[in-house]
Chains A and B, each alone.
Chain A
């Protein structure tokens, strides 16, 4: 396996997103909220006449809620829908060979749910984010 990954920073933690599902990285603001939606659904945003659902990663991890104002979002395509995954920072696209390994460490509940394993890049271990799980959010709401 050799795949491209996007290094992002979420809640102060560097992590990897599979580049295959990433469409672009954009700055977004003025997000229309979705009342009575699960907390990790930050709202809706229009990107060139397409509506995307903005996912608040901090809320998904159970660590409060992202603040308002301009933010960076990674636009991903999952099951025919567009999502914007809020990130603190976007670093680089890297190629990492190999299969994600088991983290062999007790992860926090949030990260355990959203990671697909660990990949090493230049000696730095990083979690591979399971985008679909992140979008589905905490289990109790998805059920």
Chain B
């Protein structure tokens, strides 16, 4: 409804602007018929819209003005100056209220009656004149005129091709006194109309700008520039990114546009079928690319039709089944990450997967033996098979062969997925997952046959290398398969699919997921980079290959093709045959892992050659970077990733290679990169560490596959990377009075790890918060607040009463903490 209101406000304001000249002219020459007509049309249009939009105040005002003007037009009244100013006052009030609607302000309506009263002839409060009811013919004529007025106001522009852009002009936040004075300064108009064409051109311009930026980035990297050029370039990148963001947003429209047609459609279809359907719509304010909205309009329509036709039962059947007479149909949209989820849930009979299977067997799509092995979910997936419908008979509404297969194909074409979930007798849930925007997608670049290709990131499950026990290749009846951590996944050779000669080894496997959770591994020669790519549709003759999703221009300005993950699977023939088998194994495996309490751990060789591990959940992605994009600024290493500076942490070993590999990690909010040498493997591990005693990059060590592996301390890492660790100056100071090797090597690290800064001699002039001395030392520090004595022996023999044995770790730590807390308090 908000959009309609916005349209109304924009339209009314436009007409008002166009009319302002007319109003003045009319004031000068009240007899001018054409001016009168224009004003009449305006109030008439407003009246009509208000009735529709449920704005009673505006309606009352415009209605009163319209009546008076109708009288004038019919020569029942003379337009004297009193009448003219009364009408103008009403029009001013309409303008004021329109602005108020937009700002959500309230204007007292006590005045309205006076304004309306002023329209009446004479000054005496005469009873309201009830206008002679206009005949039907008049109404039709008025309607036509009103339409003309709208047309004229739009300057002949094609309505269909225009959008109302809500510009973010900050409205003055002054608390205006509530007045009816027409002189009140008008709020700056916050919406403008733009042709979609112009937006598209802007978008194309920004896309080209991104490409030019990428090109420049490459050149800069190659030439090894000075840092100030880089800073300027970074600023440029930032600006472009921001601009791209805001322009992308102008292309966004609320999903509501998609939903507005539903109530009427549901009403018509349910009436035709004699069903009662209660429609609930949620999340209409979620925003989505305009083009995307058009792309999912048909699939959504189809799904809703299906839900009413096949899903929701006739009222009497529902009552027999113990359900309410009216079927519930819930359509909702929400944003999850960079995807939009559109759900259609009905409480109808659901889909009987077993009946689907019978039909599939009957129509020869599925073999009898194969059917027996399918899980419930796999069986449900059969609704996406072409030529399969559960409808007993073909009705006018659905079941005409345009089936769910088309829906799925359409959704997948725009990079989306369709999930289905059914509980027989209780209902069905269909979920469409679509990306936010069509034009710019994050992608992974890979190569096959010496040529680069892009794969949408959204389709990638993981990337593995063949080798080791975790990833093992095998053949099964001529088909290549791979075992990834015990899961069987079909392998598709990209070279083979593309018809390239299989010369070089394809040791890299990109595991891709399809709709419904099926997976396959795409064997490629090399995996290169993550990039944000501007994807444009390829020529039809290229799209006809069925394996490409579009073209893009990466940094090197050599066109690259985006692979259509589903298309490749289709061409390789994995879709129907392999997924069931692969999935059953996956499911079993998941259960196993849960029982053992293991988590996937990424093993890698660190820069210093030591094998380390980190829980995979912390790693967002693994990336190769040029070491030239590493800079030491503001006292720490930073990495330039896509024009942003991300803290770079390493184990301390110098970065020598021209290319470095980093783990990009995120703790939910903050981001950092950890430099490593190479990734070894991802293995499920039940983490049981031998904890390290010193805070540092390593939290502990444990045996993984019989090798000692140090585990990265994520807490320390983020504290380091983000500079949260308290600066040395803020730490309490501990004076160690002895300087023997034991104190320095053994005691000091422990004290330091408890958060103290250590000094060794009183000379520095710094007052120590705590002094640790060996028991028996005579010299007693005077000004120090607290003293902790350590004795040589475990037994309290000959020592001071409150001294501690120097290996009493627990006691020591407790003491240190106690003093630390005291100091902090």
Contact = CB atoms under 8 A, between A and B. Distances in A.
Contacts of B449: 35
Interface in B476-507: 497-500
A81 B548 CA distance: 16
A75 interface: no
A38 interface: yes
Contact of B542 (A30, A37, A136): A37
A136 B541 contact: yes
A83 B538 CA distance: 11
Interface string A27-68: 000101111111001011110010101000000000000000
A49 B210 CA distance: 10
Contact of B538 (A30, A35, A53): A53
Given A45-B559, A46-B558, A49-B212, A32 B451 contact: yes
B542 A36 contact: no
Contact of A36 (B537, B539, B545, B558): B545
A141 B208 CA distance: 33
B440 to A, nearest CB: 14
Nearest to A79: B540
A33 to B, nearest CB: 7
A37 B557 contact: no
B541 A41 contact: yes
A137 B559 contact: no
A51 B536 contact: yes
Contact of B541 (A30, A35, A137): A137
A41 B542 CA distance: 8
Interface in A102-143: 135-137, 141-142
B547 A32 contact: no
Given A44-B561, A46-B559, A51-B553, A35 B542 contact: no
B451 A53 contact: no
A51 B538 CA distance: 8
A46 B551 CA distance: 10
* Residue of A33, A35, A137 with most partner-chain B CB within 10 A: A35
**Chain A's interface: helix, strand, loop or mixed, by majority?**
mixed
A135 B541 contact: yes
B505 to A, nearest CB: 18
B498 A36 contact: yes
B211 interface: yes
A37 B541 contact: yes
B216 to A, nearest CB: 12
B560 A36 contact: no
Contacts of B451: 32-33, 35
A30 B558 contact: yes
B560 A32 contact: yes
B212 A34 contact: no
Nearest to B534: A49
Contacts of B558: 30, 32, 46
Contact of B497 (A36, A45, A79): A36
Given A36-B497, A46-B558, A53 B541 contact: yes
B539 A83 contact: yes
A53 B208 CA distance: 18
Interface string B58-84: 000000000000000000000000000
Interface string B553-593: 10001111100000000000000000000000000000000
Contacts of B536: 51
A129 B551 CA distance: 27
A44 B554 CA distance: 13
Contacts of A49: 207-208, 211-212, 553, 557
Nearest to A35: B498
A131 B211 CA distance: 30
Contacts of A135: 539, 541
Contacts of A38: 541, 544
Contacts of B561: 32, 34, 44
Interface in A1-43: 30, 32-38, 41, 43
A46 B557 contact: yes
Contact of B540 (A33, A43, A81): A81
Nearest to A137: B541
Nearest to A82: B539
B551 A51 contact: yes
A35 to B, nearest CB: 4
B553 A37 contact: no
B218 to A, nearest CB: 14
Contacts of B539: 53, 81, 83, 135
B551 A44 contact: yes
A75 to B, nearest CB: 13
Contacts of B552: 51
A44 B556 CA distance: 14
A34 B553 contact: no
Contacts of A141: 544
A35 B538 CA distance: 14
Interface in A70-84: 79, 81, 83
Nearest to B208: A49
Interface string B432-466: 00000000000000000101000000000000000
Contacts of A142: 541, 544
A136 B541 CA distance: 6
A137 B541 CA distance: 8
Nearest to A43: B559
A37 B545 contact: yes
A49 B553 CA distance: 7
Contacts of A37: 541-542, 545
A36 B547 contact: yes
Contacts of A33: 451
A34 B208 CA distance: 22
Contacts of A137: 541
Nearest to A37: B545
Given A32-B451, A49-B211, A83-B539, 19 more contacts: A34-B561, A35-B451, A36-B497, A36-B545, A37-B542, A38-B541, A41-B541, A43-B559, A44-B538, A44-B542, A44-B551, A49-B207, A49-B557, A51-B551, A51-B552, A53-B538, A53-B539, A53-B541, A79-B540
Interface of A: 30, 32-38, 41, 43-46, 49, 51, 53, 79, 81, 83, 135-137, 141-142
23 contacts: A34-B548, A34-B561, A35-B498, A36-B498, A36-B545, A38-B541, A38-B544, A41-B541, A41-B542, A44-B551, A44-B559, A46-B558, A49-B207, A49-B208, A49-B211, A49-B553, A51-B553, A53-B539, A53-B541, A83-B539, A135-B539, A135-B541, A136-B541
Pairs of residues from A and B, 8 with the lowest C-beta to C-beta distance, nearest first: A35-B498, A44-B559, A53-B539, A51-B551, A81-B539, A49-B208, A49-B211, A51-B559
Interface of B: 207-208, 211-212, 449, 451, 497-500, 536-542, 544-545, 547-548, 551-553, 557-561
